[in-house]
Amino acid sequence: MHSTEIEVRTGDTAVVHDLTKQAEAFLAEHGAEDGLLHVWVPHATSGLAILETGAGSDDDLLAAIDDLLPRDNRWRHQHGTRGHGRDHVLPALLPPYATVPVLGGVMALGTWQSVCLVDTNVDNPVRRVRFSFLAG
The pLDDT assigned to 75 comes to 85
The pLDDT assigned to 1 comes to 85
The pLDDT assigned to 110 comes to 94
The pLDDT assigned to 80 comes to 82
The pLDDT assigned to 127 comes to 95
The pLDDT assigned to 19 comes to 98
Domain boundaries defined on the chain: 2-135
User: 2-135 falls under which CATH superfamily?
Assistant: YjbQ-like (2.60.120.460)
Which DSSP string do the residues of the chain spell out, in sequence order?
-EEEEEEEE-TTS-EEEE-HHHHHHHHHHTT--SEEEEEE---TTEEEEEE--SSSHHHHHHHHHHHHS-SSTT-S---SSTTTHHHHHHHHHS-SEEEEEEETTEE---TT-EEEEEE--TT--EEEEEEEEEE-
Which residue positions in the chain have pLDDT lower than 50? none
The pLDDT assigned to 130 comes to 98
The pLDDT assigned to 54 comes to 87
The pLDDT assigned to 81 comes to 85
